[in-house]
Amino acid sequence: MAETHVQTVPVKQINEPISSPWRDAWRILRKNKMAILGFCIILFFVLLAILAPFITPYEYDKGELVDKNLPPSAEHWFGTDYNGRDVFTRVIYGAQISLRVGLFAVIGSIVAGTFLGLLAGYYGKWIDTLISRLFDIMLAFPSILLAIAIVAILGPSLENALLAIAIVNVPTYGRLVRSRVLSLKEEEYVMAARAIGSKHSHIIVQHILPNSLAPIIVTGTLGIATAIIEAAALGFLGLGAQAPQPEWGLMLSDSRQYIQKAPWTVIFPGLSIMLTVLGFNLIGDGLRDALDPRMKN
């Protein structure tokens, strides 16, 4: 009787990590030195914001006039401003405001823009026409001018500036999601789900939205940097945070007349804005390279 030979096929180790698009993206991101640098910059400012009450003995809204416009020293690392307030203290407390405004403004824009983009892209017809024309009207205005108009109507304050920044950036995410949905709803797996009788809400939540997250995450990360700049611009114009809040744009506005006499009152808030925006831009570029299939080898 002939012997039967059974060929054994090696089985992967159970503990071997399973490959997935998000896992692959994280692996690529970890190798991106510029993205890691961006993470380090943002982590530095986040830690400053969290530990602000424990880092400095001064209060951001109180100072001594006899100590006004003192240069940087061991006692005042970044010097003092025209009211004798410690600039270092105001800068690290300002990180709390700028990061909060940037984060929540972008979250609001993403939520509203994604919702409108899903409706326009998936249902089409008059819904698409109405939402698309609304986006076109909003994009016809420069974002900062539209934000100024909104704050002028609502009144100058940090909360109204945050709301204005969120509103003016809704079309950016709405059009991005709409274009993504238009291509995804023609995919075979979406058509198959529609053929077996799946509800529209189920198709949107389970199939279309998860496959639209990558560009939203990339654009949102870059959008935080834009939101911080817009908040600083509104603060500089007196339409955002109000004194004595230590918002970086407001600090630049208050100290611009002392730029020759006390340049440190302008340099350090300006550097903080630049570094924070740079950090988010580096992260956003790294996420784009990691999440875009065309950038992968």
Domains and CATH numbers, the chain: 34-56+73-295 (1.10.3720.10)
Report, as an integer, the average pLDDT of 100-124: 91
Do 258 and 124 contact (CB within 8 A), yes or no? no
Contact by Cβ (8 Å): 248, 64: no
> The tokens 């300006």 sit on which residue?
270
Tens digit of each residue's pLDDT (9 = 90 or more) over 120-144: 888 878 888 999 999 999 999 888 8
Paired strand residues for 86: 80
- Higher pLDDT: 47 or 199? It is 47
What tokens were used for 161? 């500036």
Neighbours of 58 (CB within 10 A): 18
Whether pLDDT at 105 is above 80: yes
- Predicted pLDDT of residue 122: 84
pLDDT per position as a tens digit, 243-277: 888 889 999 988 888 888 889 989 999 999 999 99
List, in sequence order, the alpha helices (H) in 169-263. Answer: 170-184, 188-195, 200-203, 213-236, 248-255
CB 62 within 8 A of CB 188: no
Integer-rounded Cα Rg, in Å, for the chain is 25
Exposed/middle/buried for residue 183 (C-beta within 10 Å: 0-12, 13-18, 19+)? exposed
- What is the structure's pLDDT at 3? 52
Least confident interval from 41-45, 79-83, 95-99, 189-193: 189-193
In angstroms, the CA 236 to CA 174 distance is: 29
Q: Which of 252, 123, 146 is nearest to 200 (CA)?
A: 123
* Residue 1: predicted pLDDT: 45
Residue type (1 letter), 79: G
Asked, as a colleague might, if the bond just before 244 is cis with ω within 30 of 0, I would say yes
Nearest to 134 by CA among 116, 151, 107, 153: 116
Digit-coded pLDDT (tens) for 6-50: 555 454 444 545 556 667 777 777 787 888 999 999 999 999 999
